[in-house]
Structure 1
Amino acid sequence: NCSALGLAILATSLSGCMIVDSPIKGVLGTEVIWGDIATGEAGSGTPGATKEGKACAESILGLLARGDASVRAAKQNGNITEVTTVDHSARNFLNIVGEWCTIVKGR
């Protein structure tokens, strides 16, 4: 029954349970980026990051999740051998579609 499915989706989206975790969440949607790990110090003798790689996983309705958001996958996608920063991003729209990504920078 389509109406039962619609009610279940509506109840899930209004329940306050976010399908993608982030440090700050919005009721209607979320789109944030935050830093997690950094090596070296600004202004040090360490050359800056010249490459960036990103790896993501996604969730649909909080029922199906897939993807590889690992640092390893992000390094491979950016052809990076030495990571200098690891950041994360999260996007969520009405608990219908969510995306969680790892973003690495390095050389």
Structure 2
Amino acid sequence: MKQIKVALALVGITAAAFSLAACQIVASPMAGTTFNETKYGNIATAETATTKEGKACGTSILGAFAQGDASIVAAKANGGITKVTSVDHYAKNILGIYGEWCTIVKGN
């Protein structure tokens, strides 16, 4: 019985250490250390009639490896947009292991 308690304690300590080691952070106006999935607005114009939307994303693994182009320019190109009316952002973080950051551009 004592060996089981020791084993469970070691598993708990190891899990806590791994969760602290994966310090991958995705910028967001709200924080969620275990899980975060947020979409929020950043820039908008007075123009309300939009016909197109483009999205560009970058991803990160363990905060050690990151790739992608989440720029406004890439989102405009992906949506075939020439005139931007709003820029939103989307952030996702799962246990600090996987992170995603997207720029969403709307316009014509």
TM over 0.5: yes
Query: Where does residue 11 of structure 1 map in the other structure?
Result: 20
| One-letter amino acid of the structure 2 residue matched with residue 63 of structure 1 | A
1:27 to 26, 29, 33: 33
Partners of 1:50 and 1:32 lie apart in 2 by 23
Between Structure 1 and Structure 2, which shows a larger proportion of helix residues? 2
Rg larger for: 2
Partners of 2:90 and 2:59 lie apart in 1 by 12
- How far off its partner does 1:58 sit? 0.5
Query: Where does residue 43 of structure 1 map in the other structure?
Result: none
SS at match of 2:40: strand
Q: How do 1:25-104 and structure 2 match up within 5 A?
A: 25-40=31-46, 46=47, 48-104=49-105
TM-score, normalisation: structure 1: 0.80
Contact 1:54 1:102 in 2 (8 A): yes
Partners of 1:54 and 1:77 lie apart in 2 by 6
Identity of aligned residues (%): 56
- How far off its partner does 1:7 sit? 8.1
| One-letter amino acid of the structure 2 residue matched with residue 24 of structure 1 | M
TM-score, normalisation: structure 2: 0.80
Q: Unmatched 5+ residue regions in structure 2?
A: 1-14
Contact 1:9 1:61 in 2 (8 A): no
